[in-house]
Structure 1
Amino acid sequence: MVNTSKRTLDVTLFGQKYFSPLIQAPIGVQSIFNAEGEKGLAEVCSRLSIPYVLSTAGSNTIEEVASASNDGLRWFQLYWPSDDDITISLLRRARQSKFSVLVVTLDTWSAGWRPLDLDQGYLPLLNGIGTQIGFSDPVFRQKFKQMHKKEVEQDIPLASREWVKLILSDSPQPWERLSFLKKHWDGPIVAKGIQHPEDAKKAVQVGFDGIIVSNHGGRQLDGAVGSLTMLPSILDAVGTGTPVLFDSGLRTGADILKALCLGAHAVLIGRPTIYGYAAAGKDGAEEVIMGLLADLDRSMSMTGITGFGESHRSAIMPRPS
């Protein structure tokens, strides 16, 4: 008997209103799925008013993706380089290209053990695929030339190894180093890869503006706990003052609604859009996103929810006796 004839999908994050709670998750090396790479998917997200998160492991440059996105909403995901000069350069380029939110991945200081990739010899970054943000960076290029007396293009395998050593250095930055990022980034900074309440509280304590609960789509630590399992306890730990976003495992609009009812402020979609992009290019990616939005809207109606201010845990979890 609840009147759900008028529904709204909008959410507010970091003081800005967004059309829906969907955000395109950062996924590297998108040229292996479609020849247009990150540019094509960024264009689709712009058309549909979905924020696009560009991975540091992009197969297009920061500037190319910004141009394809036009006036669309875009965030930049940072694999934090071990060289501060290069980090500053990446942040400067992202801000100049009007990326508004910085997403710092905390769970990938080194790549996980991936037997299938090893068996197949699947190492695109070491073959110069997904390294275009680094190869186009003036500071990286200058330092590479000073060290090796040659341009990046003259030795792609060597340049690839040097870039990967910088962004997957196996040397985590300590919490206190967030102050360095804040010095060089004047927008919101979000911690991605949080899976434990104590880490979530620490992230808020040191000054992160938001948290993304994520196990990296299950591609890092084999057997890691599911992110949805940890979402409620992380939300309870940080309270209501910090936006908590959810990533990893979402496949349907109903999945999205469950995460929002548990308390997430927004969600990141990864594999579904990439599957559509790989299968049918930009049209395929657009169909997937539109399908997710339609499914979410219909699921809200059937659950008696007209807006996400009404999405509470009681909608999907029994009350304790």
Structure 2
Amino acid sequence: MDQLTLREIEEAARSRLPVAVREFIDGGSDRERTLAGNLSQYGRWGFRPRVLVDVSAPDLTVDLLGSRLAAPIGVAPMAYHQLVDPAGETATVRAAGQHGLLTVAAMFAGRTIEEIAVEATGPLWLQLYWLRGREVLTGLVERAERAGYQALVLTVDAPRIGRRLRDLRNGFALPPQVRAVNLDPELMVATGRSAAGSSAIAEHARQQFDTTLTWTDVAWLRERTSLPLVLKGILTAEDARLAVEHGAAAVVVSNHGGRQLDGAVPTLTALPEVVAAVPADFPVLLDGGIRSGTDAATALALGARTVLVGRPVLWGLAVGGEAGAARVLGLLQDELEHTLALLGRPRPGDLDRSALADLGA
């Protein structure tokens, strides 16, 4: 691979993917205002570099929930990696491991929890949705504990699936060879058939996602696992404080990549108020719109402990499988190190709001 930026890798991936798959990955909900905002808000911030600082030995390592990451970058949970590469999530977790980075494996993975764990050489967390059957959820939690996952990530912003118009127009459904193998096939029936004007993924969510989920349920889950519980989908100070009160070990500032409530604030906009609402040592992660090491540096300066990257990893898989995903993550890592050196802040811990200038909306 000779691409020098994530944009070039994206362009290469777009030429290789079927239209319906490409739009499933790229699309947001409704008018896609939040999807666009996730990207555009990074342009609001400029850097305030310091000079005459020794940057000869930059160090990107960070500690996160008991694990050491080689850089504050991880793979966001995304379903169905086999849509773009036959090896699926095992290729992704190997790619992250090459760089010592975090992988958050999705519940709707095409590889089993155990297969993914065997291939992991970096930190590994498991993402969950709250399904109507609690026994399914607790079964996945027990398997994750046995397989050696270090944390659980509960997605809390999806009581129903956003209105994703691209998928509806394409009648998106999973091809027969792509299945969520960690769930009973009977729970996944709706994902394999659809027609124009409908989405099999949305229909499956309507049938299986539990819309009664509340903070009481979060506390219930917290009591039933020894693993740290991370809540993904937090956008407000109010919910950040409740997450701390209900035993969460960390939160992910996320709007589901712009795929849920259209018009929800961009994650970079929400980040400062979430950080301000929680204790100083409470980890706040961010996903949404990270397309370069400078984007990652901006989020870290605004208080994120680690950033999670979604779509670019799938682009890398589509272009070059495991090597392509590793290329994406390596580029981000290298760009982040380069940015911190030129900022005169050679470690993530050196970053704070003073590294940024607000250029306006």
Normalised-by-shorter TM-score class: 0.7 to 0.9
Structure 2, unmatched stretches of 5+, are 1-51, 194-199
Seen in structure 2, the aligned counterparts of structure 1 residues 226 and 44 have a Cα distance that, compared at 3 Å, is: same
Q: CA deviation at 1:25?
A: 0.5
Partner Cα distance (1:221, 1:87) in 2: 25
Partner Cα distance (2:348, 2:218) in 1: 31
Secondary structure in 2 aligned to 1:133?
A: coil
Partner Cα distance (1:299, 1:87) in 2: 41
Seen in structure 2, the aligned counterparts of structure 1 residues 172 and 48 have a Cα distance that, compared at 3 Å, is: farther
Partner Cα distance (1:283, 1:242) in 2: 34
Q: Does 1:301 align with 2:341?
A: yes
Partner Cα distance (1:298, 1:74) in 2: 26
Q: CA deviation at 1:272?
A: 1.3
Q: Does 1:90 align with 2:90?
A: no
Q: Residue 17 of structure 1 aligns with which residue?
A: 68
Moved over 6 A (4+): none
Secondary structure in 1 aligned to 2:230?
A: strand
Q: CA deviation at 1:165?
A: 5.4
Partner Cα distance (1:300, 1:15) in 2: 24
Question: Which residues in structure 2 correspond to 1:1-321 (within 5 Å)?
Answer: 1-69=52-120, 71-124=121-174, 129-135=178-184, 164=204, 168-317=208-357
Q: CA deviation at 1:171?
A: 1.1
Partner Cα distance (1:185, 1:164) in 2: 27
Q: Residue 15 of structure 2 aligns with which residue?
A: none
* Kept after mapping to 1: 8 A contact 2:235/2:255: yes
Q: CA deviation at 1:99?
A: 0.8
Alignment deviations for residues 120-154 of structure 1 (CA, whole Å, 9 cap, x no partner): 011329x6834211037xxxx7xx8xxxxxxx99x
Deviates more, 1:169-178 or 1:307-316: 169-178
Partner Cα distance (1:178, 1:202) in 2: 10
Partner Cα distance (2:177, 2:107) in 1: 13
* Kept after mapping to 1: 8 A contact 2:151/2:227: yes
Q: CA deviation at 1:168?
A: 4.3
* Kept after mapping to 1: 8 A contact 2:130/2:210: no
Q: CA deviation at 1:172?
A: 3.7
Q: CA deviation at 1:276?
A: 1.0
Structure 1, unmatched stretches of 5+, are 145-151
Kindly report the root-mean-square deviation, in angstroms, between the aligned alpha carbons of the 2 structures.
2.4
Q: CA deviation at 1:169?
A: 2.0
Partner Cα distance (1:250, 1:311) in 2: 17
* Kept after mapping to 1: 8 A contact 2:285/2:306: yes
Alignment deviations for residues 172-206 of structure 1 (CA, whole Å, 9 cap, x no partner): 41102223212322011101000111111111111
Secondary structure in 1 aligned to 2:264?
A: coil
Q: CA deviation at 1:166?
A: 8.5
Q: Percent identity?
A: 33
Secondary structure in 1 aligned to 2:183?
A: helix
Partner Cα distance (1:15, 1:73) in 2: 10
Seen in structure 2, the aligned counterparts of structure 1 residues 50 and 180 have a Cα distance that, compared at 3 Å, is: same
* Kept after mapping to 1: 8 A contact 2:160/2:205: no
Q: CA deviation at 1:212?
A: 0.3
**TM-score, normalised with respect to structure 1:** 0.87
